[in-house]
């Protein structure tokens, strides 16, 4: 797959992943039946898997390595943090806790987008 097509596929998958994340998050917060929808759950995880595959393919196509690209290492760390926050949020029973974790997840998403766009690390 050509670089531009791969890049746009990755960006589209990221957008779909985030829309599905917020759909599930708000459904949990509002205690809607949608939160327990198997198709939404499977679809969300399938998109996330494709997003990961496209990220690896993009990094390989561009010859990027987290060892040589500090921003990529930070992005990977933030993706792991985002997954952990999502798991904690799914297990959280209290709305205030869910909202706090949603705010944290949103902050992490913005940081991931910043790193993807500007490739300027925060720490390293």
Instruction: List pLDDT tens digits, range 71-116.
Output: 999 999 999 999 999 999 999 999 999 999 999 999 999 999 999 9
Structural domain that includes position 78: 65-124
Confidence (pTM): 0.92
58 plus 96 within the same structural domain: no
| DSSP of the chain | --HHHHHHHHHHHHHHHHHHHHHHHHHHHTT-GGGG-HHHHHHHHHHHHHHHHHHHHHHHHHT--TTT-HHHHHHHHHHHHHHHHHHHHHH--SHHHHHHHHHHHHHHHHHHHHHHHH---S--
* End-of-domain residue from the set 32, 63, 94: 63
87 plus 109 within the same structural domain: yes
77 plus 119 within the same structural domain: yes
């Amino acid at each position: 797959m050509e670089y531009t097509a791969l890049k746009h596929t990755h960006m589209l998958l990221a957008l779909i992943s985030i829309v599905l994340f917020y759909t599930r998050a708000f459904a949990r917060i509002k205690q809607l039946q949608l939160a327990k929808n198997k198709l939404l759950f499977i679809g969300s995880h399938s998109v996330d898997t494709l997003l990961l595959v496209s990220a690896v393919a993009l990094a390989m196509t561009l010859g990027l390595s987290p060892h040589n690209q500090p921003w990529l290492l930070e992005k990977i760390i933030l993706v792991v943090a985002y997954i952990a926050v999502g798991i904690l949020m799914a297990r959280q029973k209290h709305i205030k806790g869910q909202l706090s974790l949603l705010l944290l997840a949103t902050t992490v998403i913005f940081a991931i987008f910043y790193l993807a766009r500007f490739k300027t690390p925060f720490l390293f």
